[in-house]
């Protein structure tokens, strides 16, 4: 089978994985990699139709992710395909069934083996490429917003990096929950796309100041501030948007695409000094206390660190229920999965480049066979 191997750590966007000088790339396409055997009575082998690229996959090949598998390894997490073979004790699936799932490693290959308990049936009418894009991006956003933040229709959601994979998922889930959704992105094309999703307000970082734009929108709706901050970006943008948060707000820390991990001092989540948030310029109603001659704002913020993959170990039922609900939303047309770019395995460097250079609007995919007209826009 074909498989993408990471042989050494480095930038997978640097050069083609099977170019004239394969030693120049940390990844290489193995054309005759062994097909994995069924490793238990309940194991299922899936022929992969498509697999998703996530920022975590890019970081893992760089050697900058928290999980560092031994070399060489086959990267890849979420995927969709058809059942190729089943173990003797498999009861949930049969050969030919359409399934999707995610793994800690191994989806950048023609075949992958997983236990039947980790697979989800793909509803009729749902494209397999779209199904492959769902588990990590939409799963992360769903668990964050629905399970951790308990987002409701009375709340305001602010999504940073809103045109990326998890961002596009977050704004759609926010709308399904009935929240007022504010999206932050950069560039006219991304702004227009987000507006097409029904986002209530979009901030274009290329020509707008985020706090000024959001404050103006909130004032026009007679809203006090942001209740939930969804942050896959980090860096200065996190610090800036914290000025917009309501009393009792929740901060969902999803990732650090900016490359800078923001520091949120613990005392700021409880008591925030006036000079730190420039209270005089914020037209909100805060609870304020006089302590030692200084004016303090009692924030009562909650900061959630979300590592979605760990739910499979610690709260598998939450994760499974989340994926099933998302698949039902796809079937009912409540959410749509936007595919930005599709590449073949031998074009993996271009796929990673689309993520690295923030060219994608939605998901970047690798597809096997029958790419047809569904080609990259690059």
Q: Could you tell me the CATH number of the domain that includes residue 46?
A: 3.90.180.10
170 and 243 both lie in a single domain: yes
The residue from 305, 322, 350 where one domain ends is: 305
pLDDT of residue 77: 95
Closest CA to 336 of 193, 216, 238: 193
User: Does 283 fall in a domain?
Assistant: yes
pLDDT of residue 22: 57
Give SS3 for 356.
helix
The residue to which tokens 């992969």 are assigned: 48
Q: Both 162 and 197 in a single domain?
A: yes
pLDDT tens for 66-117 read 889 999 999 999 999 999 999 999 999 999 999 999 999 999 999 999 999 9
Mean pLDDT of 4-8: 95
Peptide bond into 72 cis (omega under 30): yes
Residue 108 counted as domain residue: yes
* Confidence at residue 376, expressed as pLDDT on a 0 to 100 scale: 38
Contacts of 130 (CB under 8 A, 6+ apart): 330, 337, 339
Per residue in 174-189, pLDDT (tens digit) is 999 999 999 999 999 9
Question: For the stretch 250-275, what's the b/e string if a residue is b when 16 or more beta carbons lie within 10 angstroms of its beta carbon?
Answer: bbbbbbbbbeeebeeeeebbeebeee
pLDDT over threshold 90, residue 304: no
The per-residue pLDDT for range 228-274, each reduced to its tens digit, is 999 998 888 988 999 999 999 999 999 866 566 666 665 555 554 33
Based on the fold, state whether residues 52 and 92 are members of the same structural domain.
yes
pLDDT value of position 234: 82
pLDDT of residue 262: 64
Say yes or no: 349 and 288 in one domain: no
Out of 261, 283, 305, pick the residue that ends a domain.
305
The answer to whether position 292 is within a domain reads yes
98-102 vs 120-121, strand pairing mode: antiparallel
Domains identified in the chain, total number: 2
Average pLDDT, the chain: 87
Residues 294, 159 within the same domain: yes
- What's residue 36's pLDDT? 97
| pLDDT > 90 fraction of the chain, expressed in percent and rounded | 70
Do residues 175 and 299 share a domain?
Answer: yes
pLDDT tens string 119-151: 999 998 899 999 999 999 999 999 999 999 999
- Indicate the pLDDT class of residue 347, thresholds 50, 70 and 90: very high
pLDDT at 45: 98
CB 349 within 8 A of CB 355: no
Least confident of 107-116, 160-169, 310-319: 310-319
Cβ–Cβ < 8 Å for 210, 203 = yes
256 and 163 fall within a common domain: yes
The whole-number average pLDDT for the span 17-30 is 76
208 plus 250 within the same structural domain: yes
Rounded to two decimals, what is the model's pTM? Answer: 0.86
Residue 7 lies in a domain: yes
Q: End of a domain among 305, 326, 352?
A: 305
C-alpha to C-alpha distance for 76 and 84, rounded to whole angstroms = 19
Domain range holding 127? Answer: 3-135+338-367
pLDDT in tens, 268-291: 555 543 333 332 223 233 343 333
Residue 284 neighbours by CB under 8 Å, 6+ apart: 224, 225, 246
pLDDT of residue 18: 64
CATH of the domain at 260: 3.40.50.720
Any domain includes 252 = yes
Q: Going by DSSP bridges, is the β-strand pair 226-231/156-159 parallel, antiparallel, or unpaired?
A: parallel
* pLDDT for residue 11 is more than 60: yes
**Residue 313 forms part of a structural domain:** no
CB atoms under 10 Å from CB of 94, counted, come to 10
Percent of the chain with pLDDT over 70: 85
pLDDT band at 197 (very low <50, low <70, confident <90, very high): very high
Asked if residue 358 and residue 241 are part of one domain, the reply reads no
pLDDT at position 286: 34
Do 244 and 221 share a structural domain? yes
Q: Are residues 165 and 291 in the same domain?
A: yes
Residue 236 lies in a domain: yes
Q: Are residues 153 and 270 in the same domain?
A: yes
Rounded CA separation 157/77 (Å): 28
Q: Is residue 64 part of a domain?
A: yes
């Amino acid at each position: 089978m074909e498989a993408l191997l990471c042989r050494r750590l480095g930038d997978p966007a640097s050069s083609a994985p099977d170019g004239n000088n394969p030693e120049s790339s940390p990844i290489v396409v193995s054309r005759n990699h062994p097909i994995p055997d069924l490793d238990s009575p309940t194991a299922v082998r899936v022929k992969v139709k498509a697999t998703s690229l996530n920022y975590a996959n890019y970081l893992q090949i760089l050697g900058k992710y928290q999980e560092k598998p031994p070399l060489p390894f086959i990267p890849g997490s979420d995927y969709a395909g058809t059942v190729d073979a089943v173990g003797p004790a498999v009861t949930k699936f049969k050969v030919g069934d359409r399934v999707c799932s995610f793994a800690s490693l191994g989806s950048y290959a023609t075949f992958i083996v997983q236990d039947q308990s980790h697979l989800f049936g793909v509803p009729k009418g749902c494209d397999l490429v779209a199904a492959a894009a769902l588990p990590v991006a939409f799963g992360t956003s769903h668990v964050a917003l629905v399970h951790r933040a308990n987002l409701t229709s009375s709340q305001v959601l602010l999504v940073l990096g809103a045109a990326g994979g998890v961002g596009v998922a977050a704004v759609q889930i926010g709308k399904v929950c009935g929240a007022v959704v504010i999206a932050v992105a950069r560039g006219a094309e991304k702004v227009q796309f987000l507006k097409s999703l029904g986002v209530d307000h979009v901030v274009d970082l290329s020509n707008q100041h985020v706090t000024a734009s959001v404050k103006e929108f909130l004032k026009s709706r007679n809203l006090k501030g942001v209740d939930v901050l969804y942050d896959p970006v980090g860096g200065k943008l996190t610090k800036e948007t914290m000025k917009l948060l309501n009393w009792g707000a929740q901060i969902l820390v999803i990732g650090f695409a900016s490359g800078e991990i923001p520091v949120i001092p613990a005392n700021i989540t409880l008591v925030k000094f006036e000079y730190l948030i420039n209270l005089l310029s914020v037209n909100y109603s805060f609870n304020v206390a006089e302590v030692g001659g200084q004016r303090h704002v009692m924030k009562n913020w909650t900061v959630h660190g979300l590592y979605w993959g760990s739910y499979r170990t610690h709260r598998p039922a939450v994760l499974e229920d989340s994926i099933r609900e998302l698949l039902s939303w796809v079937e009912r047309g409540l959410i749509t999965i936007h595919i930005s770019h599709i590449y073949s395995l031998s074009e993996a460097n271009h796929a990673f480049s689309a993520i690295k250079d923030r060219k994608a609007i939605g998901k970047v995919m690798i597809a096997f066979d029958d790419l047809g007209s569904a080609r990259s826009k690059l």
